[in-house]
Amino acid sequence: MARHQEPKTPNTNSTIRKKTLNVDSPSFMPATLPVPNKTSAISSQAANAAPFTPRGLSSGTVTPNPQSEHPPAGFNPAQIREFTPQNYDVSEPVLPTDGSGSESHVAYDPFQMPGVAQTLPTTPQYNPYIDESANMASNGAAYFQTSSAFAAPTQPLQYHLYAPIGPHREDLLAYQKHAHDFFMPEALREDLQKKAEATLQVMPNSQLPNLDTYHTLVALDTSHRKSATVFGYPSWVYKATSMKNGYMYCLRRLEGYRLTNERAIRSVKDWRRVNCGGVVSVVDAFTTRAFGDSSLIFVTNYHPLSKTLVEHHFTNTSRFGNRASQTVPEPVLWNYIVQIASAVKAVHSANLAVRCMDPSKVMVTDKGRIRLGACSVLDVVQFEAQRPLAELQQEDFIHFGKLILSIATNNLSVTTTPNLAPLVEQLARNYSSEFRDTVVWLLTPAQAPATKGVGELLSGIATHVVDAFDSSLHANDTLYSELAREVENGRLARLLMKLGTINERPEYEGDVNWSETSERYILKLFRDYVFHQVNAEGRPVLDMGHMVACLNKLDAGSQEKISLASRDEQSVFVVTYSEIKKQVNAAWSELQKPTRR
Ligand SMILES: Nc1ncnc2c1ncn2[C@@H]1O[C@H](COP(=O)(O)OP(=O)(O)OP(=O)(O)O)[C@@H](O)[C@H]1O
């Protein structure tokens, strides 16, 4: 532990002797304030305690002497209920900025909106952010514009109040907060971290070649068995890094494919126009001999840790934790139907056809989120067939129906079953007639010359589209609230980095006591105040809410005062967050200075 030196000229308001500082320490109440009339409730200890009168508030020097102010033995401020907590002490005196030391008792209500105050035009409001407003006048004008249309003066944003953005389901009281209320939910954080890890994963001693501008290939196939049923060629899937931009992409390799017509591969560029949340975006296609054969490569967006519908519903345990059951719930299937219908709409509007909707080529990229994963492949591979677009688009509805039927009946051979009637009948056991009718509609070809359109499908399932839209709005709200919480993290991280470079610095420009002297000493005590407090039993206070609140107030430079006790408990400095902020910035600037020669 570092030695403690008393500062030579600390920038403080007052100094008193004090026994213990803990998180419940009350703010001092100047003797001139009216004493609350609570005689019946006052404890004997509090009644006997000498009223604290701050001395030399404006002197700015430390005089650790006053024996008369030493509290009686056994004095425990934590037991005194009558003291007002430090946060937003409405009776806290406001020190004049001229440093005269005289006190004026302007009641400050931080929740009083200026526009609401009746007496506003005549009574000057105490502005706790006076420093910030000065700064904003110079460099924040673009962000905090004052509209002359409103008569009431605007107040700067109260950063440290840390407003939680709703909607909130739980009706919790203000104090009912846990550490996780301040941070991202564990499940979401874990999911994002796992995805980042998967994205950055590399294969040591990989024998896989570099392809065109793609390097660091990692195989994504979990089985070594390859069937050619879907595309007519065995296919392999890799994750790769682009040399051009450093992003990861998914490469699908069709083994043994020989390109005979250049126009076949050019058809892929039409797929770049399709921008839909239900389709894995197609980026490029090229041929290569890097694998020792003639292979066709499709480049698509990479969705880390995604699974195919087969892996998700037809294997024992899915990535999202639920045991794959024999019957997939109907709401899940409606959700799939809505998402695929939206994808089909986007593809058909781009004058293309999906063509491949095999369950092994539809990706589950997140909980309840699916994407068509192998678009454009059959356009190239079956280019020579030159089938009319209208015919392919009509066929999409049948592929769609077979996909849903396959998941609903837990049967992977639907695509090769000639007679689907028994499987359709099976739907009646577990699903509504509306669901069954929708599947039948998809599977039944239109009587020529009539054609089916995706608009017709969407109006038929409109109520389910609205349900899916509503749950999407809820999911969006939830993520937005999470985002709002995380917004604060960047500021706190910067502040912690600054404090980390200053606190306990072993040496600066030959001065081994640099971090312990002058205003840096206050920063050391501030760190103790934020992170090293103990409760009445001497146990560490691990209240993250306290830490987050302190750092936010420091970042905002609040005028709220706190008392910082020296480690030997002989001195206490009463300082505002605003002063500590100036000290952090001063020490940080000093560290940034060029080296003295
Ligand atoms: N765009 C993508 N982003 C991330 N992972 C993907 C992407 N496309 C496919 N994958 C993953 O690659 C793996 C292999 O995909 P593939 O299409 O080969 O499925 P498969 O079940 O092996 O089918 P088949 O037997 O027809 O090859 C799957 O786990 C799938 O989740």
Q: Cis before residue 156, ω within 30 degrees of 0?
A: no
Rounded Cα distance between 27 and 450, Å, is: 81
CB 182 within 8 A of CB 544: yes
Q: How many CA atoms lie within 13 A of 424 on its CB side?
A: 18
Cβ of 365 less than 6 Å from ligand 1? no
What backbone torsions phi and psi does residue 372 show, to the nearest 5 degrees? -70, 125
Burial class (CB in 10 A: 0-12, 13-18, 19+), 223: exposed
Parts of the chain belonging to CATH 1.10.287.3700: 15-116+489-592
Atom 23 (ligand 1) nearest CA: 360
Task: For ligand 1, say whether the CB of 308 is within 6 Å of any of its atoms.
Answer: yes
Return the ligand 1 atom nearest residue 280 CA. 1
Say what the pLDDT of residue 163 is: 58
Any ligand 1 atom below 6 A from CB of 406: no
H-type helices in 168-246, by residue range?
Answer: 186-200
Question: How do the pLDDT tens digits run along the chain, 597 residues long?
Answer: 333 444 443 444 444 444 444 444 444 444 444 444 443 444 444 444 444 444 433 333 333 443 433 444 444 444 444 433 344 333 333 333 333 333 334 344 434 433 333 333 444 454 444 444 444 444 433 333 333 444 444 444 444 555 566 666 666 666 666 666 667 788 888 999 999 999 999 998 889 999 989 999 999 987 777 788 899 999 999 999 999 999 999 999 999 999 988 899 998 999 999 999 999 999 999 999 999 999 999 999 999 999 999 999 987 644 444 444 578 999 999 999 999 999 999 999 999 999 999 999 999 999 999 999 999 999 999 999 999 999 999 999 999 999 999 999 999 989 888 889 999 999 999 999 999 999 999 999 998 888 999 999 999 999 999 999 999 999 999 898 888 877 767 888 899 999 999 999 999 988 999 998 988 999 999 999 999 999 999 899 888 888 988 998 999 899 999 999 998 989 999 999 999 999 999 999 999 988 765
CA distance 498 to 520: 12
Q: CB of 516 within 8 A of CB of 524?
A: yes
Distances (CA, A) of 43 to 27, 34, 49, 439: 17, 18, 10, 76
Q: CA 552, 556, 562: angle at the middle one, nearest 5? A: 70
Q: What is the amino acid identity at position 430? A: N
User: Looking at residue 153, what is its pLDDT?
Assistant: 45
* Ligand 1 contacts CB of residue 227 (under 6 A): yes
The protein residue with its alpha carbon nearest to ligand 1, atom 1, reads 302
Q: How many C-beta atoms lie closer than 10 Å to residue 287's C-beta? A: 16
Q: Give the bridge partners for 240, in sequence order.
A: 249
DSSP string, 341-366: HHHHHHHHHTT-------GGGEEEEE
Distance CA(116)–CA(417), nearest Å, equals 73
Across the chain, which distance is largest between two alpha carbons, in Å? 103
Q: Are 365 and 306 in contact, with CB atoms under 8 Å apart?
A: yes
Q: Is 36 left (phi over 0), alpha (psi -120 to 50) or beta?
A: beta
Cα(311) to centroid(ligand 1), Å: 9
By most ligand atoms within 8 Å of CB, the mutation choice from 201, 236, 248, 306 for ligand 1 is 306
| Phi, psi (rounded to 5 degrees) for 184 | -60, 140
CATH topology (fold) of 15-116+489-592: Helix Hairpins (1.10.287)
- Ligand 1 atom with the smallest distance to the CA of 371 is 1
Closest protein CA for atom 12 of ligand 1: 220
Element (H, E) at 547: helix 544-556
Q: Which two tokens stand for residue 296?
A: 């066709």
What pLDDT is attached to residue 389? 96
280 lines ligand 1 (CB under 6 A): yes
Q: What is the pLDDT of residue 264?
A: 92
81 marked ligand binding residue? no
Dist. CA 118–CA 465, nearest whole Å: 50
Q: In what order do the strands lie in the sheet with 572-576?
A: 15-16, 572-576, 561-565
CATH 1.10.510.10 residue ranges of the chain are: 190-460
The whole-angstrom separation of Cα 497 and Cα 276 is 41
Query: Does the C-beta of 229 come closer than 6 Å to ligand 1?
Result: no
Question: Is there an atom of ligand 1 within 6 Å of 371 CB?
Answer: no
**Secondary structure tally for the chain: helices H, strands E:** 15, 11
- Taking alpha carbons only, the member of 529, 527, 544 closest to residue 584 is 527
Is-contact 310 299, C-beta < 8 A? no
d(CA 135, ligand 1 centre) in Å? 55
Is 252 within 8 Å of 399 (Cβ atoms)? no
Joined together, the tokens standing for residue 376 give: 């454009």
Mutational test site, ligand 1, from 221, 226, 372, 376, max ligand atoms within 8 Å of CB: 221
pLDDT at 268: 93
- 104 forms beta bridges with 94
Q: What is the ipTM of this complex?
A: 0.97
Q: What is the pLDDT of residue 302?
A: 97
Evaluate: CB of 235 within 6 angstroms of ligand 1: yes
Give the domain 190-460 fold: Transferase(Phosphotransferase); domain 1 (1.10.510)
Q: Which atom of ligand 1 is nearest to the CA of 302?
A: 3
Q: What is the pLDDT of residue 166?
A: 64
